[in-house]
Amino acid sequence: MTIEHLNNKYGCKCTLYRLQTNMILAFVFVLFVNITLAQDYQFTSGSKKAIKSYKLGSSYYSAKNYNEAILHLDKALHHDSEFIEAWLLLGDIYSDLKRFDEAIGAYNSAIALDSTFFPPVYYFLGNIYYEQGDYSNSSKSLRNLLKQESISDDLKALSLVKLVSVDTANYLVNNPVANNPINIGSPLNTTNDEYINFVNTGFDMLMLTKRTKQPRYTGMQYKEELYYSELYDSIWSTPKQVKLGWKDESLNMGTINFSTDGKTMYFTGCYWPDSFGGCDIYSADKEGTHWLEPNNMGSSINTTTWESQPIISSDGKRMYFASKRPGGKGGSDIWMSIKLKNNSWSPPVNMGDSINTEKDEMTPFLHADGNTLFFASNGHPGLGGWDLFVSRADEIGRWSLARNIGYPINTKYNEIVIFSSIDGKFSWISSDRAGGYGKYDIYEFENYDKILPQKVMYVEGLVVNKETKEPINAKVEITNLHTSEIINTTFSDSLNGEFLIVLFPGIDYAFNISKKGFLFLSENINLQDTVVDKSIKQQFELSPLLKGNKQIMNNVSFEFNSHKLLQSSTIELNKLSEMLAINPNINIQIIGHTDSIGNDEYNMKLSKKRAESVQKFLIAKGIQITRLSTLAKGASMPIDSNITEEGRAKNRRTEVLFQ
């Protein structure tokens, strides 16, 4: 039986679980206790001393004086060990105190005396067993409850919904999906809370948040600080605090995520001077190693309620975050906003029933593939507490029903934060499971097939001046050659020249780097028919725009045996026309080349016509003909072998000489 089958097995919807669960159960038991205190109530004990002690215990219980309540209930049971009401109340007190073994013993003592006396006790037992990870006994208790004829419709509905979680947990534990996640150890994990934020492409630098309890006089209960650590000889260095020059120590920040390239930070700031009244989402950009002043993300994203835990898509066009704003499905929901052409953000939309429940969802993480969303929930069926789930978007953007990512990644404890590597091979989570250093620790595991993100490729580069080797703040643009759609745009860092940009299999790309005063660099990255197994890491050198420099137009192509430009050529030719427009003192010579197939006369004519086709395109874009000359070289100047098709393709090229 699959997890998906379990969701529907009992003819109920899991969202019913928010059917005021705690309110109903508290009401049931408080009502029971009040009834037992009524003058005409007939106790199961005939001992006056036992009844007197029970009533005293009930009074102390109502006043939340649990120690005195236990003392008097023990006296009641000393006088009459078969006093069912005393066993039940004692079980409830132990449950409130999370002394679960003693609660189980007390409840089972009551059931042993009369299994039909108080049917809701089976639900209480089922809950306790579930919290302890004893899913088999939890299932038995809930099924015993459903056999009772006197239970209310509300309690029956709650039990059916709880049974979905219990059977799901049972299934997950009996069908483990991976090896145990590994605690990444000291010095990263401590007795405080540690939350994973970011891991770089080389897996040798990570960022984490440490959450520490503050002294009472500081005015803050907890403080969250960002740290980074580097891997040396397979050992993580002692984390160092990330210096944020703008940070006011009186203002707390947390739930930090980063853009795919690590150059923009998104975080939550609560009650900051420019907030909209609650916890708002902010962003801050990075130059070199320096973080710039943060900006509030604005009124489309932020409200007077709680917005937190932002994550941005790898193309920078979508943001996902958690919010308690009105209009959601429950407490905290996950929402999505789209970046508009004017760089503002659209009104967020709720991610819907496949993601959100009537309880709480939080800490979304969108993989670089743009289609794999991880998040934490305490509303979907799971192993208890907070579990991690995954949902995937189809071709038209519909998100699949959330899937529990399985045991032993999820446990009966809380798993609340996840970060998955850009290559999809590894993930890191934060969990408060037993056996750690204390509170939330960071764990690492290898992704298994059912949660693997789609494969992506990335270009991780460094842009420098070819002459001086100094870093350049250049525009990096990726365009789909077939649709002419700009897939992604970024800028290399102004201080170190670094950039990272994500590509997707199945697409033929034009890759352009441009900067005023420099020749633009163009390449073709064809992922249409290739299996992605290696990304590009290299230095890109831009030549200053000087007379005498020459540039190959890698994305200018023609129909076979023709001088007619392919539609895909317009992307690069538009770049060339833009560069000529902003540099009116530069003229160009367009040089056509062919491979060696065909005779020399034919190749000369073809290369001339192709150069003239480029010239006509630029004239149509407003470039004066006096600035454009053509030259035919045929097959006379190959740059590669004409023996292979790959070499011939390189020789069939258009070059531009700047004059």
Return the closest-CA partner of residue 124 out of 55, 31, 26. 26
Average pLDDT over every residue of 362-379: 96
The pLDDT of residue 37 is above 90: no
> So what's the pLDDT on residue 11?
31
* Ramachandran bin of 255, using left for φ above 0, alpha for ψ from -120 to 50, beta for the remaining angles: left
The residue out of 544, 571, 604 marking a domain boundary is: 544
Residue given tokens 């089976």 in the structure block: 122
What range does the domain containing 354 cover? 182-451
Q: What is the pTM of this model?
A: 0.86
29: Cβ–Cβ under 8 A, 6 or more apart, which residues?
92, 120, 124
Average pLDDT over every residue of 301-323: 95
Choice between 2 and 307, residue whose per-residue pLDDT is larger: 307
The residue out of 174, 209, 240 marking a domain boundary is: 174
**Strand intervals (E) in 218-294:** 222-232, 235-236, 240-241, 253-258, 264-270, 279-287, 290-291
The verdict on 159 and 100 lying in the same domain is yes
The verdict on 538 and 554 lying in the same domain is no
The verdict on 187 and 164 lying in the same domain is no
CB 348 within 8 A of CB 304: no
Range from 193-197, 219-223, 576-580 that averages highest in pLDDT: 193-197
In the chain, how many domains are there? 4
Give the CA distances from residue 133 to residues 50, 129, 212, 267, in Å, rounded to whole numbers and listed in that order. 35, 6, 29, 34
Which residue type sits at 426? Answer: F
Q: By 3-state DSSP, what share of the chain in percent is helix, strand and coil, each rounded to 5?
A: 30, 30, 45
**CB-side exposure of 573: number of CA atoms within 13 Å?**
23
The verdict on 150 and 79 lying in the same domain is yes
The verdict on 319 and 447 lying in the same domain is yes
The verdict on 519 and 621 lying in the same domain is no
Take residue 559 and report the two structure tokens written for it: 């129909």
Burial of residue 240, with CB atoms counted within 10 A of its CB: 0-12 exposed, 13-18 middle, 19 or more buried: exposed
> So what's the pLDDT on residue 10?
31
Peptide bond before residue 408 is cis, with ω within 30 degrees of 0: yes
The verdict on 101 and 187 lying in the same domain is no
Choice between 457 and 222, residue whose per-residue pLDDT is larger: 457
DSSP 346-374: PPPEE--TTT--SS-EEEEEE-TTSSEEE
The verdict on 531 and 446 lying in the same domain is no
User: The domain spanning residue 354 has which CATH number?
Assistant: 2.120.10.30
The verdict on 480 and 613 lying in the same domain is no
Which phi and psi (to 5°) does residue 200 adopt?
-75, 175
Q: What is the CA radius of gyration of the chain?
A: 33
> So what's the pLDDT on residue 13?
32
Q: In this predicted model, what pLDDT tens digit does every residue of 501-534 receive, in sequence order?
A: 998 888 888 889 999 889 888 887 877 765 546 7
CB 64 within 8 A of CB 39: no
The residue out of 503, 528, 544 marking a domain boundary is: 544
Alpha helix ranges (H) inside 133-229: 135-147, 153-174
The verdict on 262 and 302 lying in the same domain is yes
User: The domain spanning residue 63 has which CATH number?
Assistant: 1.25.40.10
Give the CA distances from residue 298 to residues 63, 386, 461, in Å, rounded to whole numbers and listed in that order. 47, 30, 32
Residue given tokens 């979508």 in the structure block: 318
Instruction: Provide the percentage of residues in the chain whose pLDDT is more than 90.
Output: 64
User: The domain spanning residue 464 has which CATH number?
Assistant: 2.60.40.2190
User: What is the Cα–Cα distance from 415 to 595, expressed in whole angstroms?
Assistant: 60
Q: Return the sign of the alpha-carbon dihedral for residues 59, 64, 65, 66.
A: positive
Q: In this predicted model, what pLDDT tens digit does every residue of 52-102 receive, in sequence order?
A: 999 999 999 989 999 999 999 999 999 999 999 999 999 999 999 999 999
The verdict on 474 and 572 lying in the same domain is no
User: What is the Cα–Cα distance from 531 to 569, expressed in whole angstroms?
Assistant: 25
The verdict on 35 and 103 lying in the same domain is yes
205: Cβ–Cβ under 8 A, 6 or more apart, which residues?
199, 228, 229, 230, 231
> So what's the pLDDT on residue 448?
94
